[in-house]
Structure 1
Amino acid sequence: MNRHSIFFKLNLIFLFAIGALVALFAMMVREIESQEMRMLEKKAIKYEADIRKIIVQNGSSLQKRLKEHGYTTIPHPEEINVNLRPVFQPPPPSFSPALRERIEDGRLRIYRDNERIYFELVGPKSSRMVAAPIEIYRPKWIAIFFGGMTGIIILLYWTLRRSLIPLKTLAKQIKRFGEGEMEISTRSDKRDEIAFVANQFDAAVKKINAMKEARTLFMRNIMHELKTPITKGKLSVALLKEEQEAKILQRAFSRMEHLIHEMAEMEMITSQALDLNLSRCDFRSLVKDAASLLFIDEQKIRIRCHSCFIEADYNMMVIVLKNLIDNAIKYGEEETVHLCYRKGVLEVINKGEPMSKNFKKLTEPFSKDTNGLKKESFGLGLYIVKSILDAHGATLSHRYEKGYHIFAIEGLKPAA
C-alpha cells in the first residue's frame, strides 16, 4: 500500500486510536483490580483477627458465635473448595508477621469468589472453613464507556472512509483526462469538500471542452473560408499576362496555402489530443510516404537501418519524418538527407550552417532559424514534431558536429 495515501494514514490513525483505547481500558481495569486487592487485604486482616477472637471465646457453640458476628461456617469445604480462587499466595507485606507465618505454614488458607472471602483453618486432624461477605464495587460504566467509545471510533472511521472513496473515482477521472480522454464527468450530488472539488473540476472540464470545440470550429471555418479564395486566386494568376506580377502573386498564394496546411496539421494534432493508434510500422515505408508528401525524389534520402520496424502511430510518424526531412532540405547545403535508425535511435542528418537560435527555442510554435534558410518557413515544423513525439514517450534532441546537423529521436519502441 502507498504510505503517502490518505487511506493508509486513515488506517494508521484508526489502528492507533483503537490501540490507545484498549491500552487505556486495560490500565483502568488493572487499577480497579489493584484497589480491589488492597481493600480485600484490609478486610482479610480484620476478618481473620475477628475469627480468632471468636474462636477463643467461651459460651455458645462456635458456629452460633460466628453467625452472630456475621460469619458463615461451611459444613463441607471439600465440596466448595474446587470452585474458589486462592488469594494472598504469597502473603502481602501489609499482613502481620504472625498472619504471614500461618499462611506460609499452611495453617491458614484464604480463598475468594465474587461475593465472599473464605478462611480455611487447617488443624492437625480436621479443618474448618469460615466465610465472610465482601462488597466489591465494579463500576459498569467503564465497560459501557469503552464499548461506546470503540463504537464511535469505528463509526467515524467507516464514515470518513466512505467519504473519501470518491477521491479514488476523482483521481481515476483526472488520470483519464490527463491521458487525453475528454468525455468524462466528476459531478457529485454530495455537499462535502470532495464533492466541491469534483464539481469544480467537472465544470473546468466542460469549459475546456467547450473552448476546444469552439477553437476547432473556428480554425476549420477559417481554413475552409481561406481555401476557396486562394484557389480562385491561383486560377486568376494563371491568366495574368505580366509574368513578374504573376510570380509575386503565385508566391503569396503558395505561402498562404502552405500556412493553411501547417495550421491544419496543428489543428488535427491538438483536436484529437494525439489519440495514438499504435501499430507495427516499416521505417522505409514511413520515409517513402513522407517524401511523397514533400513531392521530392526518394533518391535524395539515404536510409540506413538495422531493424526497420517500430511501434508507433503510422500517420503521426509520417508527419514527424516529413517535417524533419523538410527542415533538413530548407536549411541544408546539400540536396541529400541522411536517415539512420539503429538501437531505437532515429537520426536525421544534413549539412548546414550552425543555428542562430537555441534548439529548445526552435521547438516553440512560430519560432524559426533564419540562418541558412532557403525557403519560406512559419516555424511550426519542430513544434509539431515535438508534440507528436511527446505523445509517443519519445524525445527530440539536436547536436551540431563537423558541419552537420543531427536531429536525434530517442525512446521509440522497436517492433518485432
Structure 2
Amino acid sequence: MIRNISISAFINIIFSLAFIAILITFSFFISFDKQKHEITQQNRYELIAENFLSTFQNLPDAQSLFKLFKKFQVKPLEDRDEKLEIIKNAQELTITQNYLGTYRVYKYDNTYYIYVQQYGYNLMLKDIRNHNYSMAIIVGAFILSIVTILFLYAILKRKLKPLKLLNKQIIEFSNGNKDVKIKSVSNDEIGTIAKSFNEAITLINNQTKSKDLFMRNMMHELKTPITKAMFIAETLDNEQTRDNLQRAFKRMDDIIKELATVEKLTSANSMMYKEPTSFFNIYNKTLEIMMVNPENIASKIKSFNFSVDISMFSIALKNLIDNAIKFSPNNKAIINASKDEIQVISLGEPLQYDLSYYTEAFSQEEKRSDGFGLGLYIVKTIACLHGYTLEYKYENGKNYFMIKM
C-alpha cells in the first residue's frame, strides 16, 4: 500500500502524524506538569503549617511571627467573620493532625488559606504569593515546535516542487510533445535528473530528425529508379523474365509505400483530417486501393456514420483485409461492421504470440516473402490516433481482428 502512495502524499502523512504527536505530547506534559505543580503547592503548605506549629510551642512574640509571615509570604486574617465565612464556604483540600497540632488547607475564590490550630492558637493564613499555574513557557515551546514543523514542511515541499514539474513534463513528452525543456534551478539530485532528461530529449529529437531525413531521402532516391525499371521490364520479350522483374519491382514499390505510411504516422508533423463519412464510403475506398476480387470478401455491414481521416482509416482497413486474405487457407475474409466495432474474420491457425508482439514494427512469426511486418503496426497506430483500440480473439478456427470504437 505504501508503494502506491505518492511522495507528496507520503510527506503530508508524515508531517500530519508529527503534528498530532506534538499535540499529544504537550497534552500529556501539561497534565503531568499540573499534577507536579499541585504536589509542590501541597508540600509548601505542609512546610508552612509545620513551621508555625513548631513556633507556637515556643510562645512566639509578634516580631517572630512577623518574620514567618514575611518568609513564607502569607498574611494573617484578623476578621473573625471572614474566617468563619472561609471555613463554612471554602473547599477543604486537606486536613492533617499530628503531635504538633492540626492544620487545614482551604481554597476560596481562587485563593489558598492555611488554618493552623494548637493550644489556643487559631491562626488563619492567606497565601499572598502568586500560586496560579502558568502555561506561558509551555505555550511558547508548543508554538516554537509547530512553527519549526511548518517551516521544515514548507522547505521540503519547495524542494520537491521541481520534481512535480519534472514529472509533468515527462508525461507531456510521453504524450508526444518532443519540445519539452526543463529549466534546472538547483544542483541537487533533482537538478541532475532534469539535466539528464533534457540531454535525453535532445538526443532523441536529433535521432528522430536524422531518421526522418534518411527515410525521405531514401524513398525519394529509390522511387524514381524503380518506376523506370518497371517501364523497362515491360519492354522485355521473355514473359517469365518480365513477370519476375515486375514482381520484384512491385515488391520494392510496396515496401516504399508502407515505409512512407509509417513515416507519416510517426512524424511529429503528421496531421489527421477527420471528416464525417459513412463506413460504406471507407469500405469502397479500401476496395479501390486493394484492387482485390470482391468475391474474396464477404461483408455484413450495418450502415453508420462516423468522423475519421478517410485516407488513414482506409489504409488500416486495407491492411486488416489484406492480412486476412493473405494468411487464410481459403484466401477469403469476412467483414462485420457496426457503430461499436469493425471485425475482420478469416480461417486459419491462431497467433503464436500476444497481439502486442505483432503490433511492433517489422514483427513476423517467421521470415516471409510476402510481408514486411508493418501491417498490424500501421493498423494499431491509426486506430490509436482516432481514439480506437485494436483487439484480437480466436474462436471456432477463425481469427478475429477488431477495431473497437
TM bracket, shorter-chain basis: 0.7 to 0.9
Query: 1:408 aligns to what?
Result: 401
In the alignment, the residues of structure 1 paired with residue 170 and residue 180 of structure 2 have an alpha-carbon distance, to the nearest angstrom, of: 9
> CA–CA distance in 2 between the matches of 1:261 and 1:35?
91
Change in Cα spacing, 1:130 to 1:331, as seen in structure 2 (3 Å) is: closer
For the structure 1 residues 100 and 31, does the alpha-carbon distance in structure 2 shift closer, same or farther, using more than 3 Å as the test?
Answer: farther
Secondary structure class of the residue paired with 2:246: helix
2:279 matched residue in structure 1: 283
Other structure's SS at 2:94 match: coil
Distance 2:269 2:339 in 1: 29
Seq. identity, %? 27
Shift of 1:145: 4.6
Q: Is the 8 A contact 1:340 1:348 kept in 2?
A: yes
> How far apart are 1:205 and its partner, in Å?
1.8
TM-score, structure 1 normalization? 0.76
SS at match of 1:255: helix
Change (3 A) 1:97 1:319: farther
> Judging changes above 3 Å, is the alpha-carbon distance between structure 1 residues 89 and 259 closer, same or farther for their aligned structure 2 residues?
farther
Q: Deviations over 1:241-272 (max 9, x none)?
A: 44443333222211111111111112222224
Please name the residue that 2:27 is paired with: 26
Q: Which residue of 1 aligns with 2:15?
A: 14
User: Taking structure 1 as reference, are residues 8 and 400 closer, same or farther at Cα in structure 2, changes over 3 Å only?
Assistant: closer
Q: Which residue of 378, 385, 388 maps to 2:379?
A: 385
Given that residues 323 and 382 in structure 1 are in contact (C-alpha distance below 8 angstroms), is that contact kept between their aligned partners in structure 2? Answer: yes
**Root-mean-square deviation over aligned CA pairs:** 4.2
The total of aligned residue pairs comes to: 388
How far apart are 1:118 and its partner, in Å?
3.7
What SS does the aligned partner of 1:130 have? strand
SS in 1 for 2:255: helix
The letter of the residue matching 2:14 is I
How do 1:34-53 residues align onto structure 2 when only pairs under 5 Å count?
34-52=35-53
Match of 2:243 in 1: 247
Q: 1:215 to 1:176 in 2, by over 3 A?
A: same
- The separation in 2 between residues aligned to 1:294 and 1:13, in whole angstroms, is 63
Would the alpha carbon gap of residues 175 and 249 (structure 1) be closer, same or farther in structure 2, given more than 3 Å must change?
Answer: same
Q: Distance in 1 between matches of 2:302 and 2:92?
A: 90
**Following the alignment from structure 1 to structure 2, what is the Cα–Cα distance between the partners of residues 210 and 289?**
37
2-side partners of 1:270 and 1:178: how far apart?
A: 13
Gaps of 5+ in 1: 80-85
Of residues 28-37 and 193-202 in structure 1, the stretch that sits farther from structure 2 once superposed is: 28-37
In the TM superposition, 1:12-411 aligns within 5 A as 12-52=13-53, 66-69=65-68, 70=70, 71-73=74-76, 89-91=92-94, 95-96=96-97, 103=104, 109-110=106-107, 118-119=113-114, 129-131=125-127, 133=129, 145-272=141-268, 280-296=276-292, 301-306=297-302, 308-310=304-306, 312-332=308-328, 337-342=333-338, 344-350=340-346, 354=349, 360=355, 363-367=359-363, 376-390=370-384, 392-399=387-394, 401=396, 405-410=398-403
Q: Residue type of the partner of 1:396?
A: E
The whole-number CA distance in structure 1 between the counterparts of 2:351 and 2:29 is: 81
Q: Secondary structure at the match of 1:91?
A: strand
Q: Residues of 2 paired with 1:30 and 1:111: CA distance?
A: 23
Q: Secondary structure at the match of 1:376?
A: coil
In 1, are the aligned partners of 2:93 and 2:107 still within 8 Å (CA)?
no
Deviations 1:112-168 (A, max 9, x none): 97xx9543689xxx9955336479997976655544333222111001011222222
**What amino acid maps onto 2:256 in structure 1?**
I
Superposed CA deviations along residues 160-203 of structure 1, whole A, max 9, x for unmatched, are 01122222222222222222222212332222222222222222
For structure 2, the 5+ residue unaligned runs are 83-88
> C-alpha distance in 2, partners of 1:379/1:316?
18
Conserved 8 A contact 1:189-1:195: yes
The residue identity in structure 2 corresponding to 1:109 is: Y
| Greater shift in the superposed pair: 295-304 or 262-271 | 295-304
